[in-house]
Structures are given as structure tokens and as C-alpha cells.
Homo-oligomer: A and B are copies of this chain.
Amino acid sequence: MEYIQSPKNSRVKEWKKLLSKKDRDLTGRYIIEGEHLIEEALKTDDVMELMLQENNEVPDLWLFKDIPPVTKITADISKVISATKTPQGVFAVCRKSDSTIDLKKHKRFLLLDGVQDPGNIGTMIRTADAAGIDVVIMGEGSGDVYNPKVIRSAQGSHFHVPIIIGNLHTWIETFKASHVPVYGTALEGAVSYKEVRPTDSYALIVGNEGAGVDSTILQNTDQNLYIPIYGNSESLNVAVAAGILLYHLRK
């Protein structure tokens, strides 16, 4: 097992760079940390290499599985390449997976239009996974799916649900051609979600925390939905709203 001790080592610098979106885009790679996340990642072919801090126990799973190469690192290096204040000392570099949508097989879709908050994006990926969504589609203006905070909030669902980046207008046309009902979310010109019956296939679009779904998108949906507000709050958190709608639409 290779053992790197200097935080100035060129590989450490490469790992560290993966904390920035620019470098993730450039390399097609991202970094994850924590035993549970890596356990989920190892069920896929996405893991390229593993890093384990000295004096940490080798996770059980690593002993029984044919795993990618492991590099031993120091606690100082852990701090350099971690996105958290108290790193667990277990890391993996993953390749972004190429997913394609097969409309004969995939029936349920969650589309994110301009959602920015990493916690919200991650929580929605986790919720989509729970609700049996087949594919999550990130509109071009949304935050980065491979941001460490997004990955942490999604709690492993990155490795369960295909996530693709695409033009939402184009996807809406594709869904219409395939008779997949497309639902937007809006406060005006919309019907209460309770009026819509659960269906086998659907595409739900949720929008930016402040501005909602873009009006040019809302004009092209089959139906726009709202969630009634019974009290005095102005709106719901977007991840909570997505949860209510995804579970309602699910047969």
C-alpha cells in the first residue's frame, strides 16, 4: 500500500482540487468521504481510488471485496482534502458516471430548475431515491451535484439514482412525445396537487428557492401544481415541497 506523508505531494494537490467545481468539471472526477458513503459507492463501478488515514481501521467491507487501490495518508493530509471540520479519515475519488435515459424503462423523473442550495439539492436526490424516482435531471442553471455538501445531504443516493445534466426545455419536449405527464410547481395559474391522481409515469419540475420554476418552462408543462398553505408561512422549503409532491404522485 502506498503511503503519502507530505501534504505537498502532487497527488494530495490533485485530491484537494476536487473540492472545487472547476476541477471536478475539468477532470470528470469528484471526491467523497466517510465510511457509509464509500460503502454505497463501492456497489457501483465509479470508485477509482481509496485513501485511508494512518491508524484508522480498514473498514470490514474492504477486506471482502475486490477494491480499487488504497493509499495510506496522514492526519494532516486528511485535513487538507476534507470538506468537513472533523474528517473521518476515509476518502474515495470517483468518476462521474455517464447515465442515459431509456424511456421504455424509466418512468418517473424529478427535474431541478435553478435550485442552488447544496443542502436542498442533496436532500431532494435522497428523497427522489426514497420515492422511487428513476432519474434526476439537473437543469443547466442548478448547483453542482458533486459539491461535497450535496453529496453529504444525499447520503449515498448519488449511487442509487442516475443523475444527468440537461436542458429542461428539450427534456419536456421528449416527455411529451413519450406521453409522460409533465408537472410544474407554481403559486399562480396552478391547481392543488390533491386534484391530480397518482400515475405510473410522471416528470415533476421544482424550481429555484427564491424565483421558483422559470415562467417559460411553466408555460410548457401539462399542468402546474401548488401545495395549499393553511397557516401564515409564505411558502414551503423546496425539498419539503418536492417530498410532498413525489409521495403524492407515487402510486
A-to-B contact residues, CB < 8 Å:
119, 123, 126-133, 153, 155-157, 160-161, 227, 229-237, 239-244, 247, 250
A230 & B130 in contact (Cβ 8 Å cutoff): yes
* Chain B residue contacts of A233, Cβ below 8 A: 126-127, 129-130, 155-157, 160
Contact A133 B231 (CB under 8 A): yes
Chain copies in the assembled complex: 2
Q: Who on chain B is nearest to A232 by CB?
A: B160
11 A-B residue pairs with CB within 8 Å: A126-B237, A127-B236, A128-B231, A155-B233, A157-B233, A230-B250, A236-B243, A237-B239, A239-B240, A240-B242, A243-B243
A231 to chain B, nearest CB (A): 4
Q: How far is the CA of A84 from the CA of B223 in the complex (A)?
A: 39
Q: How far is the CB of A225 from chain B (nearest CB, A)?
A: 13
Beyond the given A126-B233, A129-B231, A130-B231, could you list 7 further A-B residue pairs with CB under 8 A, ordered by the A residue number? Answer: A126-B236, A130-B233, A156-B233, A157-B232, A237-B239, A239-B239, A243-B244
